[in-house]
């Protein structure tokens, strides 16, 4: 069996890029990280799904403003 190492390297790099939004969501502890993973796995093959997952992974967390007690 003759496996070309270049094909393996390209495959690994593409797999890492494919899962990049999920990795970012989990390392940044985004609130909807499981949603990002699901979107990334099932819709990531389309560029739109991958872009949505990346957007969700990189968005800023919503801030809650607490009024001071008088």
Q: How confident is the model at residue 1 (pLDDT cuts 50, 70, 90)?
A: low
Q: What is the pLDDT of residue 65?
A: 76
Angstrom distance (rounded) from CA 52 to CA 1: 40
| Angle value at C-alpha 37, between 33 and 40, nearest 5 degrees | 130
What is the residue extent of each domain of the chain?
5-58
Q: CA distances (Å), 47 to each of 39, 55, 68, in order?
A: 11, 12, 45
Q: CA distances (Å), 35 to each of 17, 55, 60, 65, in order?
A: 18, 12, 16, 25
Q: What is the pLDDT of residue 68?
A: 77
**pLDDT tens-digit map of 29-62:** 999 999 999 999 999 889 999 999 999 999 987 7
Q: Is 1 helix (H, G, I), strand (E, B) or coil?
A: coil
Provide the whole-model pTM: 0.78
């Amino acid at each position: 069996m003759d496996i070309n190492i270049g094909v393996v390297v390209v495959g690994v790099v593409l797999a890492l890029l494919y899962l990049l939004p999920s990795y970012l969501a989990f390392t940044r502890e985004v609130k909807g990280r499981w949603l990002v993973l699901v979107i990334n796995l099932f819709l990531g093959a389309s560029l739109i799904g991958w872009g949505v997952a990346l957007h969700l992974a990189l968005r800023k967390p919503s801030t809650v403003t607490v009024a001071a007690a008088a």
